[in-house]
Structure 1
Amino acid sequence: MEQRIALAGGLGSLTLREEGPRLWARAELPDDGRGLYKVWLTGRNGRALLGTLVPEPGGRLAAERTFTADALRRQGTWPVTGGTAELTFSFRNDGPPAGWTWERPHGEAFRDRCIRSAAAGLDRVLVRREGERWTMACPFAFDREFPLLPLFCFSRLKQWDEGLFCLFSFDADGAPLMPGK
């Protein structure tokens, strides 16, 4: 049986076909010229790398691979519930958006112990300082755990060339600020 589903964000499609104890998967995206994309299969408890998309005739990017059901189970991805494509390398050499810098979050920046603990799981974030306040932008994907979950109600989304980001603003003492304040 073959199944075709949209990748998260509606950027492309994922075709899945069960072949006995194996699953054949193929992802396709329009080639937007922005850079290299990796595609992940998603399940209830994890994700599995399908591969890096490569150019194909007709202005498309594609990747395909065959998995064993056991391998997907071990990764928490069986049954497959969807997929996502992530820009992993940008061909544009612009660097971060104007006024922002890439940094590793450090716990001392946050007043609240719960926020410090959540920030410990973050890798790289964009930071912008403005006088007595500062804003942190965390990469966001719909199929991944929300960054800084304790601050869900304090977040806002922003789309840049680098992808989708959750923005959080803080005062000089590291206390979160509601959007628009």
Structure 2
Amino acid sequence: MMQFEPTPLKGAYVVSLNAFEDHRGWFARTYCKNEFAAIGHTKEWLQLNHSFTRKKGSLRGLHFQYPPFKEIKMVRCISGAVFDVIVDLREGSATFLQAFGTELSAANRRMLYIPEGFAHGFQTLTDDCELLYHHSEFYTPGHEGGLRYNDPMLNIQWPLAVADISERDEKHEYLTNNFKGI
């Protein structure tokens, strides 16, 4: 059975796996339709992605999709360690534009469940990081969005200096007071 720890951002959870260990190693369930239904998850996972990032301090994100292609994500680090961050972009939310960050690592075996209407990104804390992503919506070019990792309106405290970032992520525009959410 998995443990779902609510974050300060409603609907987002840190998910801890309960591993069964013996002399051979361990086994853990990473998804159970019934257990996820208990937190309100009823959508199907439509796409699974896997990323590899070579260099410690690299940053990916912050990414999201606009309606009608908003997506639920669940992220798990299976090699190395990352500082994983989500930002609430839900129009009218009590925690609008607030961020939450947590360490995900192969060692702690935790996952982050991210509801629709959130931006997501991470910074690698070690070299050679691999993440698995579950998505409730297909990647839809033309409906993707991004936030600047260093936007002063978000005030995210990344743990390391940014060692590497894509040109695309570096060029996301800063938010203005006109942004009302998605």
TM-score relative to the length of structure 1: 0.25
Structure number having the greater helix percentage: 1
In terms of Rg, which structure is larger? 1
Higher relative contact order (CA 8 A, sep 6+): 2
Q: What's the TM-score, normalizing by structure 2?
A: 0.25
**Bigger strand share:** 1
